[in-house]
Amino acid sequence: MSRMIFVNLPVADLPRSVAFYKAIGAEQNLQFSNESGAMMVFSDTIHVMLLTHGFFSTFTPKRIVDAREASEVLLCISCDDRAAVDEITEQALAAGGREPRAAQDMGFMYSRSFEDLDGHIWEPMHMDVAAATEAMAQPQPA
């Protein structure tokens, strides 16, 4: 069995957050969703649990930070190509997200960034592994 990752995010408005994540390509798994949380599936190995603040608080004694005010985590998600990076970012913006920085193009890697409705930062990226390997093999300036 492949290892899986379950990202748990506190959200202020669960129905709006579910709609946002559906707009960027996630599917809701209703078997693991209720009025306190929703499982959003990006792939067989990537799942995002959207949890109301009350439910999220049952898993940690720590204060929930406002992700619009403080960085908690950067969630990087791979894409098949540069067009897919642009596509998911544009979908996020159309669904009410915000783009906190300009696209970054390093030649071998291309990424953008968007915030969801609660300010959680996602960074879709595409890396050309062959070009990255070649770039890393080049002599570095002293």
Which domains does the chain possess?
A: 1-64 (3.10.180.10), 67-142 (3.10.180.10)
C-alpha of 87 from chain center = 14
Q: Decide: 96 and 20 in contact? Cβ < 8 Å.
A: yes
For β-strands 37-41 and 121-127, DSSP reports them as unpaired
* Three-class DSSP category at 29: strand
In the chain the first and final C-alpha atoms are separated, in Å, by: 45
**Each residue's pLDDT tens digit in the chain (142 positions)?**
678 889 999 999 999 999 999 999 999 999 999 999 999 999 999 999 999 999 999 999 999 999 999 988 889 999 999 999 999 999 999 999 999 999 999 989 999 999 999 999 999 999 988 776 776 677 766 6
State pTM to two decimals: 0.85
